[in-house]
Copies of this chain bind each other. A is one copy, B any other.
Amino acid sequence: MKTVSRRQQAILQFIERFLDENDYPPTIRDIQSELGISSTSVVDYNLKALEARGLIRRNSKISRGIELMNRGSTRRNVVTIPVIGQIAAGQPIPVPGDLEGSDVTETVELGSDLVRNSGQGLFALRVKGHSMVDALINDGDVVILKQQETCENGETVAVWLKDQRETTLKRFYLEGDQVRLQPANVTMDPIFTPAENVEVQGRLVTVVRSDL
Q: A residues bordering B, Cβ < 8 Å?
A: 19-20, 22-25, 27, 59, 62-68, 71-78, 80, 107-111, 113-116, 130, 133, 136-138, 155-156, 184-187, 203-212
B23 touches A68 (CB 8 A): yes
In the complex the two chains form, what is the Cα distance from A110 to B24 in whole Å?
22
Contact A186 B114 (CB under 8 A): no
**Identical copies of this chain, number:** 2
Q: Known contacts A111-B109, A114-B210; decide if A186 and B130 are in contact (CB<8 Å).
A: yes
- Name the residue of chain B whose CB is nearest to the CB of A20: B76
- Nearest to A68 among chain B residues (CB) is B23
Contact partner, A209, options B67, B75, B206, Cβ 8 Å: B206
How distant is A24 from chain B, measured CB to nearest CB, in Å?
Answer: 5
Residue of A23, A80, A114, A186 contacting most chain B CB atoms (<10 Å): A23
Chain B residues with Cβ below 8 Å from A207 are: 207-209, 211
Q: Are B109 and A187 in contact (CB under 8 A)?
A: no
Cross-chain contact B108 with A111 (CB below 8 angstroms): yes
Contact A133 B187 (CB under 8 A): yes
Query: Given the complex, which residues of B lie within 8 Å of A156, measured CB to CB?
Result: 211
Q: Which of B68, B75, B108 contacts A114 (CB 8 A)?
A: B108
Complex partner residue of A133 from B23, B77, B136, CB under 8 angstroms: B136
Residues of B within 8 A of A209 (CB): 136, 206-208
Q: How far is the CA of A184 from the CA of B130 in the complex (A)?
A: 11
The residue on B at minimum CB distance from A130 is B186
Residue from the set A72, A109, A137, A186 with the largest chain B CB neighbour count within 10 Å: A109
Q: How far is the CB of A137 from chain B (nearest CB, A)?
A: 7
Residues of B within 8 A of A20 (CB): 76
CA distance A80 to B19 in the complex (A): 17
**Contact partner, A74, options B67, B107, B114, B130, Cβ 8 Å:** B107
Question: Are A116 and B212 in contact, CB atoms less than 8 angstroms apart?
Answer: yes
Q: A136-B138, A185-B133, A186-B130 are in contact. Are A109 and B75 (CB under 8 A)?
A: yes
